[in-house]
Structure 1
């Protein structure tokens, strides 16, 4: 059997099934023609009614919550009865400033909005009449450059929030380019990692409990450097190099003078330059083959300023202990002939072991399944 399998075009009948129960379409369903997956895997449109779809979170009742950036909305997608497709889409919050990040805990939905975190209490009680957002904290910077935030609750019960650098390259001290954590009520904000330019993905290893995260490298040093990064936090307060050192071994031409890369934590994996690695999750389901168990699934959003596009795919990082031993495509082909056909943002394992992928270009969620 060949290693890779070209996804067949979706006929009208199959598309109708995929969108059953989803309500009126807001746009034509994205074409999956030309996407490439390993043998045995399939991809289908789960919902095409989530404009500007960004980060994903799962509710206790199976609701799929999705943030956005430019749309200013937070969506709640009820799964269809068969679980294989999205059903009714609700807008549970609107008018927020770049509400990219969503995190669900104890019935409540937490949402990032540049300088603040808001919460929708008991959000699944009535998705058609959602509660008004309450401000948890407004303690974060107001800068919009890298100001949108992926958020997630860690195994310690605290909410983790990246604070991106407000620039391509600058040194603004310890108020920026870091990851912080706080209690669910907004109290006890503390720094956990420094030297992180712009992380848009956080995940905890299911057995070690350690935090892994993506970081987007700086621009304007050429097509091929610096690489994006996958990092692991082993010690609270660790510094990962920005703005002094990139990809573990590349001193910055402006801010690196007098600094040594050996003084900073190197990446676990240096990725290709400008791929824009965003959301990541450990695969904890049982539907995929055993080789995928506890592998790290990474969404590469794709480059915006490289002379030849890079990224535009979903990748699998296989681990041996704390090392990444392989980094291979799960879905490839979101760009063709230098034209973007989709831009993966986040990934989320569903209860049945399938995997959702958000695409902000198409305003869609895709479901990746294996063997059926």
Structure 2
């Protein structure tokens, strides 16, 4: 009995110790380095927070991972109120808002919560929009978002690190009508995209893609891709990045028929959420540029990621990339891991951090 009690206490400390330690102490936001004029502050505490979306009335909705919760965060005179509006879901990572309703991804299911902002204290029972997505939880956290065509785009990762899974079901970005009908594949050969957005002017899709593991510490690079139309294949599992053949599958297809990334990111940086900055608070050179949340490496000897990247675009072409915010990694130890970014109506940028259980606000004022 004593042994069982000791083992239980060990598990609680081991599994929750890092999160508890971060929540019990002030977050060291002074360590975050930003360009001149920018500042960062804690906006809300939200356990295991993943992707973000904004309601019509200003509610920020947030998905989670292992917590199984969906949150609604409202702001009243500078004070945030965090509500759990759904619980006990399976990997409810993805959230999207459309015409007054909240859509939530939960592995094989997409759930719909109608008139949600009018019923935050008594959320309605969800309706199942579709339940035919793959059930595997490996890469089972789906990113979802509504495109300019009013269709819901849903990512489906590969059920493995690298394998020839059925490409009509895995390693793709799909889209459906809001009622779950008219399923179609938009892009294939996408190992695991957990973030996409549409250019504000061209209305074309851009997305991040996480490269495979176990090739080396420095390859293959992670990717930022551009899919202006459906039917494009981005290489997985045969070709990685621009021209790196997979050691097991590369000879079967090669890279000639794959669309290369518009820019290669650091290997294992784990790019997740991305948004085009459409606000008016930041300097003009940030307008319609991409901000990417890099969650950070998990199996490298040399760490990468744990930061926000800014990607410069001119005439629909990538010019360069640069670090926008970093400091979550210190001496090889991470106290936070960025997941998603969201542009707010006032032009500030929210950043979710699942390790710290926090949402930050990045703002700008003329120095």
Same fold (TM over 0.5): yes
Contact 1:38/1:330, CA 8 A, preserved across alignment: yes
Mapping of 1:28-107 within 5 angstroms?
28-48=25-45, 50-82=46-78, 87-107=80-100
Match of 1:22 in 2: none
SS in 1 for 2:133: coil
In structure 1, distance between residues paired with 2:39 and 2:30: 12
1:246–1:40: structure 2 CA closer, same or farther, 3 Å change rule?
same
Match of 2:142 in 1: 149
Residue 137 in structure 1 maps to residue 130 in structure 2 = yes
Contact 1:300/1:311, CA 8 A, preserved across alignment: yes
Bigger shift: 157-166 or 230-239? 230-239
In structure 1, distance between residues paired with 2:257 and 2:26: 49
How big is the alpha-carbon RMSD for the aligned residues of Structure 1 and Structure 2?
1.2
Bigger shift: 125-134 or 101-110? 125-134
In structure 1, distance between residues paired with 2:341 and 2:110: 22
SS in 2 for 1:291: helix
Aligned residues: 344
In structure 1, distance between residues paired with 2:111 and 2:298: 30
Match of 1:167 in 2: 160
Contact 2:353/2:359, CA 8 A, preserved across alignment: yes
Residue 195 in structure 1 maps to residue 189 in structure 2 = yes
Match of 1:360 in 2: 354
Match of 1:206 in 2: 200
In structure 1, distance between residues paired with 2:339 and 2:117: 24
Q: CA deviation at 1:29?
A: 4.2
Give me the TM-score of the superposition, normalised by structure 1: 0.91
In structure 1, distance between residues paired with 2:348 and 2:117: 22
Q: CA deviation at 1:131?
A: 1.0
In structure 2, distance between residues paired with 1:170 and 1:284: 38
In structure 1, distance between residues paired with 2:76 and 2:196: 28
Residue 184 in structure 1 maps to residue 184 in structure 2 = no
SS in 2 for 1:257: helix
Contact 1:295/1:316, CA 8 A, preserved across alignment: yes
Mapping of 1:112-131 within 5 angstroms?
112-131=105-124
Q: CA deviation at 1:27?
A: 4.7
In structure 1, distance between residues paired with 2:299 and 2:252: 30
Contact 1:29/1:45, CA 8 A, preserved across alignment: no
Contact 2:238/2:252, CA 8 A, preserved across alignment: no
1:244 pairs, out of 238, 258, 270, with 238
Bigger shift: 101-110 or 171-180? 171-180
Contact 2:348/2:363, CA 8 A, preserved across alignment: yes
In structure 1, distance between residues paired with 2:28 and 2:228: 41
Gaps of 5+ in 2: 1-21
Q: Which structure has the highest helix share of the two?
A: 2
Give me the TM-score of the superposition, normalised by structure 2: 0.92
Match of 2:218 in 1: 224
Contact 1:223/1:307, CA 8 A, preserved across alignment: yes
Moved over 6 A (4+): none
Contact 1:245/1:252, CA 8 A, preserved across alignment: yes
In structure 1, distance between residues paired with 2:289 and 2:26: 30
Q: CA deviation at 1:26?
A: 6.8
1:267 pairs, out of 261, 264, 286, with 261
SS in 1 for 2:250: coil
Match of 2:340 in 1: 346
